[in-house]
């Protein structure tokens, strides 16, 4: 396959009937995003997607940290497939990039080394009495939103443009490494021209920022942050990206990986506290959104219902640019109107005259 | 700022960024001793170095870093040189290596 032809590469994405595999990180740090995804798929698009409370972690974090052995990981993933089989679903929609990469890696391993599949089947049967059929289609949930981007545009109540000027919002898109860097064929556009997020941004009227470190890792890694002493390496990667994108004055970052969204968001807080560095053009941090949140805003969903108050970097500047009507007083009220607590003041969210947008020299 | 102890700091990048490095001192050294730029990094100087046999002093490495604007530690490293001049005898480009050592020490004392 010629390098340039990857630009046109489209992976196969099933249209309907998905078994939903949730993400450990997102359920903790962006809990509203997965709910928003289900709402978009079911309410807006009328798709059949099964949210199964029985499925577990894929073990990806433990596997990539050399804590969980490959055979254990294969048995756990085989159990997820068995649950999908039992529920009558042939397609799997994976919320997490790490899980998506892991499922893809395991299917490739089983394809190349059939004895490993036989061993996984045996281990699963001995442990749980379950059997499975290999899924026909595995897609990341961002693939599904990309797949339906035109229908979402038809239902949109707003576009990704500045409500005051009509100018497209400048959006940095960040793709998780395990989306297509392991197996290029698993991602739209392969590993070199991933179009999954850029396609959504362009379809909904935004402008994609192309900057030098666009394909650099966010620094999430696994061992890079699990050990506290190693986190300096993780945050250095995020800083490299933030420094590279800052001159283009992006309005927001959108990511399709749980770890990327989490670290690009939370490291901005740590960098502001450690070094007094902020990277947004207004002197504050750059808001980091998940693609579901971006799609939800386009569809007119309430930002607090989507859990956007859970972000470390305040999202209000983006909401105001988009002309989203929101109730500031309701930001920290839960669904029943119960106060959920507000975070303390953070340098990344406090604009003052002497804290200006600066690029480290 | 700095009120929170996170238990780690931002790691310094190992990449050499020529766009950000201050190449002024390197250019001054090259202007005073143009042969400084003629080095082909063969390593003959380091191989024959008396100080290098006793310490981890590596003249080729230091002068390469200085040409790239990476001056940290260069002065201290150059102090390991005993100015014996063996390197000058073996240099295939005829560079006055002792002179380079002295010039680097003079120019980069502040780094």
pLDDT one-digit tens code per residue, A151-186 = 999 999 999 999 999 999 999 999 999 999 999 889
Task: For chain A, give the number of residues.
Answer: 361
Domain A157-349 has CATH 3.40.50.11900: no
Query: What is the per-residue DSSP string for A190-221?
Result: TTTS--HHHHHHHHTT-EE---TTTTS--S--
Residues of chain A whose pLDDT is less than 70?
A: 1, 3, 351-361
pLDDT digits (tens, 9 = 90+) for B51-84: 999 899 999 999 888 999 999 888 889 999 999 9
Tell whether A274 lies on the interface with B, counting CB pairs under 8 A: yes
Bridge-based pairing state of the strands A91-94 and A170-174: unpaired
Neighbours of A235 (CB within 10 A): 25
Six-digit token pair at A121?
Answer: 């089947």
Q: Report CB contact under 8 Å: A229, B6.
A: no
Of A233, A276, A347, the CB nearest to B11: A233
Measured CA to CA, the distance from residue A77 to residue A228 in angstroms comes to 29
Distance to chain A for B109, nearest Cα, Å: 23
CA–CA dist A252, A311 (Å, integer): 13
Written out in words, the top-level CATH class of the domain with range A3-141 is: mainly alpha
Q: What is each CA distance from B65 to A288, B24, B73, B99, in whole angstroms? A: 38, 14, 10, 17
What letter does residue A317 receive in the DSSP assignment?
H
Asked if A274 lies within 8 A of B6 by C-beta distance, the reply is yes
A350 inside 8 A of chain B by CB: no
**Residue in A228, A232, A276 closest to B11 by CB:** A232
Region(s) of chain A under CATH 1.20.1050.140: 3-141
Q: Which of B7, B8, B12 to mutate to test the interface with A (most CBs of A within 10 A)?
A: B8
Q: Cα(A247)–Cα(A170) distance, rounded to whole angstroms?
A: 12
Q: What is the pLDDT of residue A332?
A: 92
Q: What rounded mean pLDDT belongs to chain B?
A: 89
- For residue B94, what pLDDT is reported? 92
What angle, 0 to 180 degrees and rounded to 10, lies between the N-to-C axes of helices B24-32 and B97-107? 140
Report ipTM (2 d.p.): 0.76
In 3D space, the residue among A81, A94, A92, A87 whose CA is nearest the CA of residue A132 turns out to be A81
Measured between beta carbons, which residues in chain B are less than 8 angstroms from residue A275? 1, 10
Q: Are A249 and A243 in contact (CB under 8 A)?
A: no
The pLDDT of residue B110 is 59
Residues of B in contact with A361 (CB under 8 A): 20
pTM of the predicted protein model: 0.84
Which residue carries 């999430």 as its tokens?
A: A220
With an 8 Å Cβ cutoff, are B7 and A270 in contact? no
What is the nearest CA distance from A240 to chain B, expressed in angstroms? 9
Do B107 and B25 form a contact (C-beta atoms < 8 A)? Answer: yes
Nearest-CA neighbor of A1 among A190, A196, A195, A198? A190
Tokens of A323: 């002309």
CB contact under 8 A, A276 and B1: yes
What is the per-residue pLDDT for B111? 56
Q: A352 at the B interface (CB within 8 A)?
A: no
The whole-number average pLDDT for the span B24-40 is 90
Q: Can you tell me the distance from the alpha carbon of A130 to that of A54, in angstroms, rounded to the nearest whole number? A: 13
A168: which strand partners?
A161
pLDDT at A352: 55
- Does residue A229 belong to the interface with chain B, where contact is any CB pair within 8 Å? yes
DSSP class of residue A29 equals H
Tokens found for residue A298: 């386009």
Nearest-Cα distance to chain B for A7, in Å, is 30
Answer yes or no: are the C-beta atoms of A307 and A39 closer than 8 Å. no
Domain with CATH 3.40.50.11810 in chain A: 157-349
């Amino acid at each position: 396959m010629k390098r340039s032809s990857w630009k046109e590469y489209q992976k196969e994405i099933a249209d309907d009937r998905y078994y939903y595999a949730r993400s450990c990180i997102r359920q903790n740090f962006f809990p509203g995003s997965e709910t928003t995804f289900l709402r978009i798929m079911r309410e807006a698009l009328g798709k059949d997607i099964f949210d199964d409370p029985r499925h577990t972690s894929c073990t990806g974090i433990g596997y990539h940290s050399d804590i969980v052995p490959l055979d254990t990981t294969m048995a756990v993933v085989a159990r997820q497939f068995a649950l999908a089989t039992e529920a009558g679903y042939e397609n799997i929609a994976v919320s997490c990039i790490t899980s998506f990469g892991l499922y893809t890696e395991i299917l490739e391993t089983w394809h190349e080394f059939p004895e490993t599949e036989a061993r996984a089947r045996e281990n699963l049967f001995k442990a749980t009495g379950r059997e499975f059929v290999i899924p026909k289609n595995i897609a990341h949930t961002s693939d599904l939103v990309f797949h339906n981007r035109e229908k979402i545009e038809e239902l949109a109540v707003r576009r990704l443009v500045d409500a005051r000027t009509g100018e497209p919002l400048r959006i940095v898109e960040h793709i998780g490494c395990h989306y297509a860097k392991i197996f290029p064929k698993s991602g739209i556009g392969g590993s070199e021209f991933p179009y999954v997020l850029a396609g959504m941004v362009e379809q909904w009227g935004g402008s994609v920022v192309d900057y030098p470190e666009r394909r650099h890792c966010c620094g999430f890694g696994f061992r890079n942050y699990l050990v506290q002493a190693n986190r300096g390496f993780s945050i250095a990667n995020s800083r490299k990206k933030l420094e590279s994108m800052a001159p283009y004055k992006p309005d927001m970052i959108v990511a399709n990986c749980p770890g990327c969204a989490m670290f690009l968001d939370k490291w901005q807080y740590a960098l502001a506290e450690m070094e007094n560095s902020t990277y947004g053009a207004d002197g504050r941090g750059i808001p980091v959104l998940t693609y579901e949140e971006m799609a939800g805003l386009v569809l007119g969903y309430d930002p607090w219902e989507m859990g956007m108050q859970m972000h470390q970097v305040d999202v209000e500047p983006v909401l105001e640019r988009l002309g989203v009507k929101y109730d500031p007083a309701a930001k920290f009220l839960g669904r029943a109107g119960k106060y959920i607590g507000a975070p303390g003041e953070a340098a990344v969210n406090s604009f003052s005259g002497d804290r200006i947008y600066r690029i480290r020299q | 700022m700095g009120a929170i102890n996170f238990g780690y700091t931002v790691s310094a990048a190992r990449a050499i960024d020529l766009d950000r490095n201050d190449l002024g001192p390197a250019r001054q050294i090259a202007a005073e001793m143009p042969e400084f730029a003629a080095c082909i990094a063969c390593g003959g100087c380091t191989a024959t170095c008396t100080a290098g046999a006793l310490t981890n002093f590596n003249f080729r490495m230091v002068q390469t870093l200085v040409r790239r604007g990476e001056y940290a530690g260069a002065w201290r490293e150059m102090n390991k040189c005993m100015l014996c001049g063996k390197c000058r005898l073996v240099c295939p480009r005829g560079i006055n290596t002792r002179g380079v050592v002295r010039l680097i020490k003079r120019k980069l004392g502040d780094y």
